[in-house]
Amino acid sequence: MPVASHISEAMSSSSFIRRMFEEGLMMKSRFGADNVYDFSIGNPDLEPPAKVARMLAELGTNPKPGQHGYMPNAGYPETRAAMAKKVSGEQGVEVSADRVVMGVGAAGAMNSVLKAVLSHGDEVLVSAPFFPEYAHYARNHGGNLRSIPSREDFSLDIASIEAAISSKTAALIINSPNNPTGKIYTSEDLAALGAALARAKSRTGRSVLLIADEPYREIVYDNRKVAPIFPVWADSVVVSSFAKNLSLPGERIGYVAVNPGCAWAQELTDAVIFCTRVIGYVNAPATFQRIVAECWDEKVDYSSYLKRRNLLTGILDEAGIEYAVPEGAFYLFCKVPERRATAGDSADDGAFCDQLKAHHILGVPGKGFGKPGWFRLAYCVSEKSITGSRDAFKNARIEW
C-alpha cells in the first residue's frame, strides 16, 4: 500500500530541524558528544522544577482511584481552572475555566484550533520567518499557510498583513517571543494589528481568528513583557504549552484559551473540544494535567539562557557572523555571511549550514522558516558546548 503522494511530498520537503537533530545524534555517536556542537533543536536543557519530580513520585506511590482513566475531553476541571488563572493574569482579562481546553502540547492545541475553524481552501496567514510546522498543521485540516514577510527588524508588517487578508483568510498566527527570531511584538503593534483586523473584517465580511502561539511567553530578557492579545481583538485564542518554560517538551502538555469577548466563544470552545477528540488525541495526558495544575507558576531561573545568548553572540562577533539579538526564547537567527568573491551564491543558507556541519556545528537553514539567507542556532545547550564551538565557527567562517 503506497504512502499518499501528498505525504511523500511533504516528507521530502519537511523538517530541516528534525533532520539536523537526527544527524546530530549520528554525529555524536561517531565523533563523541563533546565534539559536536548541536544547535539544531529547541529542546531545553534546563531540568524541570523540582516540584514536578516530587509530584510524579507522589502520584506513583499514592495513586488516586481512576488516576489513569478517561476524563472529560477538555481536561480535568481543576487543571482548566489553573490555566484560566494563568491566562487571566497574562491577558488582563478574566478567563473562566470553561474557556480552556487542555491540549497535546502547543502543537496539538494548534491542530485542534485549526481543525475547528478551517474549511477546505481557507488560508492561514503568518509573518515570516515562522515555525515551519505551521504549514503542515494548516494542511492537515485542508488549509494553506501563506506567509507575509516581516519588517526588516522582524516586527509584524501590519499593512502587508492587512492587504493579504481576503474572504479566504480564516486565521492569522502570531508567535511572540518568536521562533526563530526571538522578537517580541510591542503592545503598540498589537493594537495596530487589532485595528487592521477590524478594517479587514468590514472589507471582506469575514472575521479572522487571531491565534497567539505563546510557548516562549515566560522566557524573556531584560524584563521585557509579552503584550496580551485578548484586549486588541475579540476573535482570538492563545495556544501554549509547558514544553519550554517548564522544560517538559516530551510530556506533550499544552492548552488553548478562548477569548471570553469572542461572540462565538462557546461554539469555538465546543468545536476545539470536539476536534481534540476526533483528531484522536481524545484528551491531553492525564498525569501531566495533574502536574501542571500545581506547577504552572513555579519560578524558573532563565538567566542561564541569557548567559548562553551572550556567550554565543560573543563567539559569533569574533567569527564575523551577524545576527538579530533575541528579546526572548532561546534561538539566535543569524545572517549567512558574505562569501569570498570567487565563490558561488553568497546567501545560500543550506550551503552555509553544510559548511558549519563540516566543522561539527549543527544549525538550521532559514529557508525552512521562510527566510532564505539566514540560519537558526538554538542555544538551549550546555555552556561547555557553546564555548567549545568557538574555533569551529571561526574556521567555518574563514573557509566560506
CB of 105 to ligand PLP, least distance (A): 3
Write down the least CB distance from residue 87 to ligand PLP, Å: 16
Q: Three-state SS for 256?
A: strand
Q: Applying CB under 6 A, which of residues 52, 55, 106, 275 lies at the interface with ligand PLP? A: 106
Instruction: Return the range that interacts with ligand PLP (CB under 6 A); candidates 105-113, 270-278, 334-342, 352-360.
Output: 105-113
- What is the rounded CA–CA span in Å between residue 237 and residue 234? 9
Residue 193 or 200 with smaller CB distance to ligand PLP: 193
Give yes or no for residue 111 binding ligand PLP (CB under 6 A): no
Residues 377, 378, 380, 383, Cα dihedral to 10°: -10
Pairing of strands 361-362, 37-38: parallel
Contact flag: residue 48 with ligand PLP (CB under 6 A) = no
- Residues of this chain, 210-239, that bind ligand PLP according to CB under 6 A: 213, 215
Please give the Cα distance from 67 to 54 (Å, whole number).
Answer: 17
C-alpha cell at 370: 521562510
CB 155 within 8 A of CB 175: no
The answer to whether the beta carbons of residues 154 and 192 sit under 8 Å apart is no
Beta-carbon contacts of residue 152 (< 8 Å; ≥ 6 apart):
none
Minimum distance from CB of 221 to ligand PLP (Å)? 17
Q: Which of residues 274-303 bind ligand PLP (CB under 6 A)?
A: none
- Total residues contacting ligand PLP by CB under 6 A comes to 13
CA gap 302, 47 in Å, rounded = 11
Handedness of CA 71, 72, 75, 77 (dihedral sign): negative
What is the SS3 assignment for 368?
A: helix
CB of 108 to ligand PLP, least distance (A): 6
Cα–Cα distances in angstroms (integers) from residue 251 to residues 102, 171, 176, 291, in the given order? 13, 27, 22, 11
Q: Which of 107, 117, 156, 220 binds ligand PLP (CB under 6 A)?
A: 107
Nearest residue to ligand PLP, by Cβ distance, number only? 105
Which residue reads 499593512 in cell numbers? 159
Q: Looking at beta carbons only, is 73 or 179 nearer to ligand PLP?
A: 179
Cβ burial 19-31 (10 Å sphere, 16+ → b, else e): ebbeebeebbeee
Q: Interacting stretch for ligand PLP, rule CB under 6 A, among 5-13, 199-207, 241-249, 257-265? A: 241-249
Binding mask 334-373 for ligand PLP (x = CB under 6 A): ----------------------------------------
Minimum Å gap between C-beta 106 and ligand PLP is 4
Binds ligand PLP (CB under 6 A): choice among 40, 127, 169, 179: 179
| Interface ranges with ligand PLP (CB under 6 A) | 42, 105-107, 131, 175, 179, 213, 215, 241, 243, 249, 254
